[in-house]
Chain A
């Protein structure tokens, strides 16, 4: 084929591709989270997050922020005579490190229970999915206590009426959500999902990743503690001793000067 012919064949294809990309850019995003990365720096005390997007007309919207699954070990308290003491260990896995569920209305008012269970949209449905390893006979009580513990910690939260739905626009419904990323968020890859629920069912689900990363001094400490444990141990002791003797030196000289002045 001649070079001129090749150019004539590829030019329309190139133009078509550019056009479709531009059209996609103009179309409102289904889900956008700002910031896309949460940085855990020295003074991290939670982070303001904003989620916005466009849902289908007539939909109710649920936003789920889910942390990576983690395995956690607990002591199980039991009664020995009149005393409450640790009677064994409980290992809980397949539970997210963080679970935040936001919705425009209470989930059970517009979604059928099968869908709530499938997408784990309340603590009852999450309870069915978590794995509990224990010798204790009351597994149900262990699961309830685990969920209560996480709720008390602020890492499992269900907040209805938090997603704001705007007026219909371009055949869709714009939605907005402002929330605070918890202080107890740990580093990892989180998943943010938006569920569109028009008639008691989930018809569409959009996902986006949210990175939570340590930066600066906390990142340095974490790395040293995990990778250079002996060095980290020695540094910790030296810093503690220098702080102790240093303060003693300063206080002694302040008092000495005061005594000399009198």
Chain B
């Protein structure tokens, strides 16, 4: 069955859109990522104009993250306290990131910077998570994981405004999650994505949050940032295709529920290694895109 996407200006098979939404929603519910870094390229591959793909993607992320965040909230996985601080930092960082990208565009090197940032960030995060989780899995359950603070954490613990985050069982200066949210916000604005796949490892490795709490809290934060981006895209670029977003959301909301439930069956390290694999696959695909000679040397403008 064909369906017309009025803002994209094209028709597409209904099951394709719902299926793509379900796949990305599944990853979203399972790993606490928005899936934007995966969905936009997939939509572009099936012929959606990049500007419409990016804008509608953020609208469907609102649906997927609402569903996933609600499911995780019920499971007690959303730390509202630390999530709110991260969100504030993220919004401040995004504002700075938008300015940085403006300067880079004026210099004419924005696209180069974005693509290289993508590959470096994805490669670093994916590689680190993969090998760390692999080591933990090899050690097995026999060796208890150390929660002893490292030298950096010792330094961070001397910062002012220390605060307890009981749900995540961590104690940090309020500046730490705020700065972390800010740093991810800058990267997310430069890369043009929700930032969940950067935020999640940061929450686990730097804030020492348990994996499941990090997933739920990340979804809570993504819900607000993606709603903001959707509004901005609708009012500035007029590129949000509601029909496209609804159909993707129909798949992603169900996928997110399944993902959230399956994540409960897996150990934290197993979840991390799966997410790392997805991140590394996307990084390799992007790296190949940078190195291989393209068939056409023009691509429709817009998008991330």
Contacts and interface: CB of A to CB of B under 8 A. Distances in A.
Q: How large is the interface on B (under 10, 10 to 19, 20 to 34, 35 or more residues)?
A: 35 or more
A37 interface: no
Nearest to B248: A240
A190 to B, nearest CB: 14
Interface in A157-199: 183-184, 186
A225 B62 contact: no
The residue in B11, B47, B292, B302 that gathers the most chain A C-beta atoms within 10 A of its C-beta is B11
A237 B6 CA distance: 18
Nearest to B74: A252
A76 interface: yes
B245 A236 contact: yes
A233 B292 CA distance: 38
B187 interface: no
B242 A214 contact: no
Given A75-B301, A89-B301, A42 B234 contact: no
B106 to A, nearest CB: 14
The residue in B1, B74, B115 that gathers the most chain A C-beta atoms within 10 A of its C-beta is B115
Contact of B6 (A43, A219, A234, A241): A219
B84 interface: no
Nearest to B55: A236
Contacts of B292: 84
Given A45-B2, A83-B290, A240 B63 contact: yes
B3 A232 contact: no
B94 to A, nearest CB: 17
A82 interface: yes
A221 interface: yes
Contact of B298 (A75, A221, A234, A248): A75
B112 to A, nearest CB: 5
A146 B235 contact: no
A90 B298 CA distance: 8
Interface string B251-284: 0011011000000000000000000000000000
A244 B62 contact: yes
Nearest to B113: A85
B289 interface: yes
Contacts of A233: 230-235, 240
A221 B7 contact: yes
Interface stretch (B64-72, B140-148, B158-166, B191-199): B64-72
Given A214-B6, A243-B246, A73 B59 contact: no
Contact of B243 (A83, A217, A226): A217
A58 interface: no
Interface string A129-172: 00000000010011001101100010000000000000000000
Contacts of B223: 241
Contacts of B10: 183-184
Nearest to B115: A85
A142 B294 CA distance: 13
A80 interface: yes
Contacts of B65: 244
B297 A229 contact: no
A18 interface: no
A141 B294 CA distance: 13
A82 B65 CA distance: 38
A84 B290 CA distance: 5
B155 interface: no
A237 B240 CA distance: 10
A45 to B, nearest CB: 3
A218 B234 contact: no
A176 to B, nearest CB: 26
19 contacts: A41-B4, A42-B3, A43-B1, A45-B2, A46-B2, A77-B299, A145-B297, A221-B242, A225-B6, A236-B234, A240-B59, A240-B60, A240-B246, A241-B63, A241-B66, A241-B227, A243-B63, A244-B70, A245-B70
Given A229-B238, A240-B60, 5 more contacts: A72-B300, A74-B298, A84-B294, A221-B7, A251-B71
